[in-house]
Structure 1
Amino acid sequence: MVDVEVVGSGPNGLAAGVVLARAGLKVRVHEAAATIGGGSRTLPLMEDGAVHDVCSAVHPMALVSEFFTSFELRRRIGFAIPEVSYAHPLDSGRAGIAYRSLERTVAELGADGPAYRRLMQPLIDSRDGILALTLNHLLRVPKNPLAAARLAAAVLDQGSPAWNRRFRGEEAPAMLTGVMAHPVGPLPSLTAAGAGMVLGLLAHAGGWAIPVGGSQAIADAMARDIEAHGGEILTGSRVHSLAELGGARAVLLDLTPPALVEMARGRLPEGYARALRRFRFGNAACKVDFLLSGPVPWTNSEVARAGTVHLGGARAEVAAAEADVKAGRHPERPYVLVSQPSLFDPTRAPAGRHTLWTYCHVPRGSTTDMTEAITAQIERFAPGFRDLIVDSHSSTAAQLGEYNENYVGGDFGSGAVDLRQMIARPVLAAHPWATPLKGVYLCSQSAPPGPGVHGMAGFHAAKLALRREFGLGMPALGIG
């Protein structure tokens, strides 16, 4: 007899499975695809021996989320943590470089270094309190009011039209804009600033980690733990209706709100179902993977030391590209995220080859292949890049939506990231992971705390299910 059915084997579904299996319950995880992992899959896309992260590649939250630290992920898999967390090249060989060392970052920013320190140091000093706030549910009263106040001050500083007031040069504001543009949306905005400030503080307080062997290693570690504690994982197992899972006392869904409505087949109260149907999805990404014959020849050699590179030029240019996407246009010079994991993890590619991970923002549902625009943007800051391309593999926004049904129209955040929808995600409730149906919980990125490979939506949903359905507390999640 199965106690718990989990639908979806993305990071959140697997996190829920870990918690519930560790509590001594019989857990079964269903995955419609042939492989587990959802947003943390790694696959061979081109040449034998070269593997590519299909969705997420660099994981700032993997070392700091409450679930992953309790699970002791760092002891289970290897991580490369570059000395340069991210870089933002500009024309004429200039670049903003976010070193793990705040002191070095400040020194390299010259006249804007002290202003950058005044923005980031209070956040770094309040790291744990800020993470406890942002990786939970924003409706809850902050346990650390000082941390919340410091984050709010930084968000207001960088989330308003006055975002340039503290800086004189281009490098520091460009750096901040690049990290704030991770969620697809207009710039400046409070939600973009919130995401950027958290990611920025982690760049200097722990670093941005790259899993050895690929992001799949994170999913595989959780899957092994579920199976070691008596759980079962079924791939190629598509669940069409909640009625198929009727024997379990708890059902956890790593799915979008519209998918929950469809699976419920009329069982949800109409008001709740209507709210789920109103859930909004954001704009999207076009993903392009490259196989290269050598490292990207960045004009500024320090950029090659970064695990993540943000392309788009100066602050105003990045904001203009994001405005194009919001207006339904494909930018001529898009904002591009780039990572060359084979520089830090040689297991990713055979000798003489390198893997390059990129994506740019596009309107939701786009069928436009942005390979040329991405290539041109890299060539702009790394002349000679074209000569290194051995092969490439692109996924349009529409194709990303087909690959992962939670990425509706290519929205890899599984729901628009704006202030209203970060508070009411997917509905305004004290416990938004719970649904009106007895024993049914939503544990995807469409629930708090939202996008990212952190496992926290699954962690929160599983903790709630343990208490409400089984009268159990949280089990120990660590090794041994």
Structure 2
Amino acid sequence: MASSATPATPATPGGAPDAIVVGSGPNGLAAAVTLARAGLSVRVYEQAPRIGGGAATAELTLPGFHHDVGSAVHPMAVASEFFRRFGLAERISLVVPPLSYGHPLEHGAAALAWRDLERTVDDLGRDGPAWRRFFAPLVREADAVAEFTGDTLLRVPRHPLTVARFGLRALEQGSPFWNLRFRGVAAPALLTGVIAHSIRPLPSLATAGAGLTLAVHGHAGGWPIPVGGSGAIIQALADDLLAHGGEIVTNTRIDDLRDLPKARIVLLDVTPRALLALAGDALPDGYARSLAAFRYGNAAAKVDFALSEPVPWANPHLAQTATLHLGGTRAELVRAENAVARGRHADFPYVLVSQPSLFDPTRAPHGRHTLWAYTHVPSGSTRDQTEIVTRQIERYAPGFRDTILGSNSRTAAELQRLNPNLVGGDLAAGEITVGQLIRRPVLSPDPWRTPLPGVYLCSSSTPPGPGVHGLPGFRAALSALQHEYGLAEPPDLSPTRLPRLT
């Protein structure tokens, strides 16, 4: 099984490299790989004992049960420009379930988003034609959707008609008029479940846009899971970096940019808050004020389960997906998400569930299973959510409690302690609002470049935002190569090993 174990690194790193990357999450490693493929010597510093950040895979419950520390399902793994160039699907095994995501409802009913759009339309009954009209034009143009949602919104789009179609649909589902299209319960619940990935009040324009992006990929390429866990993605990135002369140094905390060896390029996979701390008073006042004004959103609390058998969902179709959204009807989800927005813990919360061991037997001992779940909570929450998550799953899978062999809970506060980029437990590394999608973290066509010579920001706090897609790191590295070396074209990232440049 591929893992997120730290690759071997020199006990004593060599001389100063051309480029330094601080942070070994997907974005930091994407940046490092891009720079190394351009012929630069690259060193990555990671404060934790293992690489990967929120994309690691580890035994969190019982021996032999492998859980994703953060993200578990990766809609952008087959759509991201970076991962397409990198050839991720050629390097690791990705399983794409036939059902992209499911949404259980009462009395054994469920709304189902099949990868096949027409099958989804058929299942949704009287709302099926409305679902087709909503999604079909965007699914046909999924590559264009991936292109403009994978960059800063300040760039002139190459596909303005697609952008217009997307924008009108996001505006509809992000406004009080979001119920006008549908007549039944299933379709609006199904769409709200994916929109609610962003932890914001509902309806909201920014969350509608983010959810719409995920839903389009659900009908285009599907929502894949990596065999061996998310750590397999990290290992593929690390292996490529090391194969091209890079170094990875773990257990090394960087508290001040002046502590780093002199390098022509420094890329930081950190939040704006951390950049302020690292740079001290070296940043210009205006830029520093923009970083200080960057807002962080509400949070997630995560629970992992080791199970004796698969979850006994009342609706058997739900065993055909790795991803489920729990919480009931659209109205129920609105109440839950808006309670969190007001600083309260919801009594019947939205719960995002992933069951990867149904599709990847490496995750658990033979006959056993893993389950990954999180729910939304106020920022900085210290409340253990194991019981409330268990109750919500049991609501749609009677007998679930009897399958639990062990569990591991991480509160929002603990998520930040384990990964400082998750400020207050904010998985998005910055609140998802329209303003902060445009100013992420500053208003600029090149927001990855800081005013400090050679210093770039490459975390999810920069465009295009959260997700395991490597794009903030890739975009930051391209900006650095252009400004520091005059290289305008991306290097070849394909799996074929290339000779190093001199």
| Structure 2 counterparts to residues 35-434 of structure 1, below 5 A | 35-434=50-449
Q: Which string of whole-angstrom CA distances, capped at 9 and with x for unpartnered residues, describes residues 310-363 of structure 1?
A: 000000000110000000000011000001110000000001310000000000
Query: Runs of 4+ in structure 1 displaced over 3 angstroms?
Result: none
1:478 maps to a residue whose letter is S
- The equivalent residue for 2:467 is 452
Q: Give 1:239 deviation, angstroms.
A: 1.1
CA distance in 1, matches of 2:317, 2:367: 22
- The equivalent residue for 1:476 is 492
Q: Is the 8 A contact 2:198 2:210 kept in 1?
A: yes
2:164 maps to a residue whose letter is A
Q: Which string of whole-angstrom CA distances, capped at 9 and with x for unpartnered residues, describes residues 265-285 of structure 1?
A: 210001111110111000000
CA distance in 1, matches of 2:478, 2:191: 35
Q: Give 1:122 deviation, angstroms.
A: 1.0
1:164 maps to a residue whose letter is N
Q: Is the 8 A contact 2:202 2:334 kept in 1?
A: yes
Q: Give 1:131 deviation, angstroms.
A: 1.1
Q: Which string of whole-angstrom CA distances, capped at 9 and with x for unpartnered residues, describes residues 250-292 of structure 1?
A: 0000000011111112100011111101110000000000001
2:462 maps to a residue whose letter is A
2:85 maps to a residue whose letter is S
Counterpart secondary structure, 1:286? strand
1:148 maps to a residue whose letter is V
CA distance in 2, matches of 1:212, 1:352: 17
1:5 paired to 2:20 = yes
Q: Give 1:245 deviation, angstroms.
A: 2.2
2:419 maps to a residue whose letter is N
CA distance in 2, matches of 1:432, 1:260: 14
Q: Give 1:246 deviation, angstroms.
A: 4.6
TM-score scaled by structure 2? 0.95
1:24 paired to 2:39 = yes
Q: Which string of whole-angstrom CA distances, capped at 9 and with x for unpartnered residues, describes residues 139-163 of structure 1?
A: 1111101110110111112111111
CA distance in 1, matches of 2:181, 2:165: 17
CA distance in 2, matches of 1:47, 1:244: 39
CA distance in 2, matches of 1:314, 1:252: 43
CA distance in 1, matches of 2:390, 2:354: 14
| Structure 2 counterparts to residues 435-446 of structure 1, below 5 A | 435-446=450-461
Q: Give 1:126 deviation, angstroms.
A: 1.6
Q: Which string of whole-angstrom CA distances, capped at 9 and with x for unpartnered residues, describes residues 24-47 of structure 1?
A: 100000000000001201001122
2:161 maps to a residue whose letter is L
Q: Is the 8 A contact 2:61 2:304 kept in 1?
A: no
CA distance in 2, matches of 1:195, 1:294: 33
Q: Which string of whole-angstrom CA distances, capped at 9 and with x for unpartnered residues, describes residues 107-151 of structure 1?
A: 011110000000000110121111111110011111101110110
Q: Give 1:299 deviation, angstroms.
A: 0.6
Q: Is the 8 A contact 2:308 2:405 kept in 1?
A: yes
CA distance in 2, matches of 1:77, 1:131: 21
Counterpart secondary structure, 1:265? helix
Structure 1: runs of 5 or more not aligned: none
1:225 maps to a residue whose letter is D
Counterpart secondary structure, 2:281? coil
CA distance in 1, matches of 2:171, 2:445: 25
Aligned pairs, how many?
Answer: 480
CA distance in 2, matches of 1:6, 1:121: 41
CA distance in 2, matches of 1:246, 1:388: 52
CA distance in 2, matches of 1:475, 1:425: 25
RMSD of equivalent CA atoms? 0.7
1:209 maps to a residue whose letter is P
Counterpart secondary structure, 2:322? strand
Counterpart secondary structure, 1:432? coil
| Greater displacement, 300-309 / 7-16 | 300-309
CA distance in 1, matches of 2:116, 2:402: 34
CA distance in 2, matches of 1:447, 1:127: 22
Counterpart secondary structure, 1:392? strand
Q: Which string of whole-angstrom CA distances, capped at 9 and with x for unpartnered residues, describes residues 366-395 of structure 1?
A: 000111110000000000000101111000
CA distance in 2, matches of 1:116, 1:283: 30
Q: Which string of whole-angstrom CA distances, capped at 9 and with x for unpartnered residues, describes residues 209-251 of structure 1?
A: 1000000000110000000000000110111111122510000
CA distance in 1, matches of 2:491, 2:167: 33
Q: Which string of whole-angstrom CA distances, capped at 9 and with x for unpartnered residues, describes residues 8-35 of structure 1?
A: 0000000000000001100000000000
Q: Give 1:474 deviation, angstroms.
A: 1.6
CA distance in 2, matches of 1:469, 1:244: 21
- The equivalent residue for 1:467 is 482
CA distance in 2, matches of 1:233, 1:117: 47
Q: Which string of whole-angstrom CA distances, capped at 9 and with x for unpartnered residues, describes residues 71-103 of structure 1?
A: 000000001110000000110111100001001
Q: Give 1:471 deviation, angstroms.
A: 1.8
CA distance in 1, matches of 2:54, 2:209: 22
